[in-house]
Structure 1
Amino acid sequence: MPVARFDAAGKLAVDEALQRGEAVVLPTPSPLAYVIAGKTAAAVNRARGRPHNYPVATWEPRLDRLAPHLALDEAERRRLGWLLAVERVTALVPQTRDVAAPSWLEPAASYGMALLFGVTWEPIAWLLERHAPLFVSSANRAGALPAVDLRQAVAAFGPEVWVLDGDALRERARPHASTTTLRFVPGRGWEMHRRGIQDSLHATAGRSDYLADVLARADAALHRKPLPRRQDGRGGRPLRRSRSSDRDGPGLGRPPRARPEAS
């Protein structure tokens, strides 16, 4: 069974699998689930049993490579960078129309929006430095729940897919799930697109409105502003969300519907 340990031999096995064009299952930091990644979207989709052109996310931690292809101003680009690298959400953001999308972004794009996964984590930094941008999706067969540990990852993919065993580096007693997905809609700002582990843990802690909280934390970190007083319990503004699937990893779904401007 192709399980790679976090040693020189395991890293070499995963590296060579990616170089051969195969998809590999990788751990991400708690409380996120495992993911499946590859140098092509087709490899990821083939491993998951989906059509080869099914949309996936682009995994590119270097914001400077993403920025020219995103229709965001400087303030929102900085906020996006914090959301991806620190909060570790997935983001659905508008693409520029006057700059052709590179090949490593096209499989993550639909309806003029790009799906971005920007998680950075020291144990897999070597892999991202060598192979990013990668294409990534949740580590499960279509319709099943994402794998949250080595046992589930191996059971999901069998002997044809290498799995990098990161269980010893994760807090296994904690709940784990796929990331929350936020989207940026021009003229409206950031919205909830798909529920995930970040907003779930926020709700479990009895806090209201994850979106308002995460944006306030982003702005406080970027501009060194004091955080507003949190509203606990059930008060506060309700979450905005789409009807995207909450089971099969972050989805692009349909383009956001325009809302009438206030008069």
Structure 2
Amino acid sequence: MPVARFDEAGRLAVDAALERGEAVVLPTPSPLAYVVAAKTVSAVNRAKGRPRDQPVALWEPRFEQVAPHLALDEAERRRLGWLLGVERVTALVPLASLASLASLASDDGAPGWLAPAARFGMALLFGVAWEPLAWLLERHAPLFVSSANGAGALPAVDLRQALAGFGPEVWVLDGDALRDRARPHASTTTLRFVAGRGWEIHRRGIQDTLRANAGRSDYLADVLARADAALFRRPFARRHDGRAGRQARRSPPADRDGPVLLHGCRGRRPRHHAA
């Protein structure tokens, strides 16, 4: 399997693979796992060995490109931007309308760029911005992205696992030296915004599990309070659902496996629903 380093030759190899329409495996910052990314959904799913139309997330770190197409008020858009860019969760959020997808297909310069990450009026967004990958995202975003694993396997959290999970035609960018391998790693927590209910945990992942493992409960309340403190200068205390002053209703997360089990360099790997 071809391995690219973080040097000029590695950048050229990854850049060329994306230009050819291929999927590449990329590192993301600790404590997140590696991901597989491409310019098309079919390329991501082909690399993972699963049906070509299976849902994946849109990777567009320039949030201002996505925000106008979401059925969120201004306060919730700002909160979502913080959740994606600072907390680095994945988010499932409502689109302004299904009709808006048809208009996107004819937009000059971005034909259909959002529609492949949308199902049933909801879009799945991955917004991680990371300086070591800035050159790639500036050139190729938006990309489509999923966890770096083959069908039925667990997400890769280091180069060795990434190499084991994909065929020899898939380039892997080695980011192990840029990550803290002593920390546990896993795929992101996915949050979901539901009209009338607010934010919920859709799929458990590394962010909420790290909090649970530290003996602190209620990740959702904590992360929304931190977002509000950063954005609106609100006291760092309460859970919010996006409508000022109202507490969010709790909703059971769509994760039948319960909290994931984490691992670092050794130990058990997390149970995880791959994106």
**One-letter identity of the residue aligned with 1:40:** T
* 1:88-144 CA-partner distances (Å, limit 9, x unpaired): 000000011152353121121111100000001000011001000000000000111
- Residue 242, structure 1, aligned to residue 254, structure 2: yes
In the alignment, structure 1 segments of 5+ residues that lack a partner are: 231-236, 251-263
Counterpart position of 2:10: 10
- Residue 28, structure 1, aligned to residue 28, structure 2: yes
Counterpart position of 1:91: 91
TM-score (norm 1): 0.89
2:101 and 2:114 in contact (8 A); partners too: no
Counterpart position of 1:234: none
Over the aligned positions, Cα root-mean-square deviation in angstroms equals 1.7
Separation of aligned partners in 2, 1:105 and 1:114: 8
Separation of aligned partners in 2, 1:159 and 1:100: 36
The percent identity for this pair of structures is: 77
- Residue 115, structure 1, aligned to residue 124, structure 2: yes
What is the Cα deviation at residue 229 of structure 1? 8.4
What is the Cα deviation at residue 67 of structure 1? 1.2
- Residue 71, structure 1, aligned to residue 80, structure 2: no
**One-letter identity of the residue aligned with 2:144:** F
Separation of aligned partners in 2, 1:91 and 1:149: 24
Counterpart position of 2:263: none
SS at match of 1:172: coil
TM-score (norm 2): 0.85
2:31 and 2:184 in contact (8 A); partners too: yes
Separation of aligned partners in 2, 1:217 and 1:86: 10
**One-letter identity of the residue aligned with 1:133:** P
Separation of aligned partners in 2, 1:208 and 1:239: 15
What is the Cα deviation at residue 244 of structure 1? 6.5
Counterpart position of 2:225: 216
Separation of aligned partners in 2, 1:239 and 1:153: 34
**One-letter identity of the residue aligned with 2:49:** G
1:125-204 to structure 2, matched below 5 A, reads 125-204=134-213
Segments ≥4 residues shifted beyond 6 Å: none
What is the Cα deviation at residue 226 of structure 1? 3.1
What is the Cα deviation at residue 240 of structure 1? 3.1
1:88 and 1:179 in contact (8 A); partners too: yes
Separation of aligned partners in 2, 1:56 and 1:119: 15
Separation of aligned partners in 1, 2:115 and 2:256: 20
Change in 2 beyond 3 A, CA 1:153/1:163: same
SS at match of 1:125: helix
Separation of aligned partners in 2, 1:23 and 1:244: 30
**One-letter identity of the residue aligned with 2:193:** F
Separation of aligned partners in 2, 1:210 and 1:249: 21
In the alignment, structure 2 segments of 5+ residues that lack a partner are: 105-111, 240-248, 258-270
What is the Cα deviation at residue 238 of structure 1? 6.9
1:194 and 1:244 in contact (8 A); partners too: no
**One-letter identity of the residue aligned with 1:213:** D
Change in 2 beyond 3 A, CA 1:159/1:40: same
Separation of aligned partners in 1, 2:47 and 2:92: 23
**One-letter identity of the residue aligned with 1:242:** A
2:101 and 2:115 in contact (8 A); partners too: no
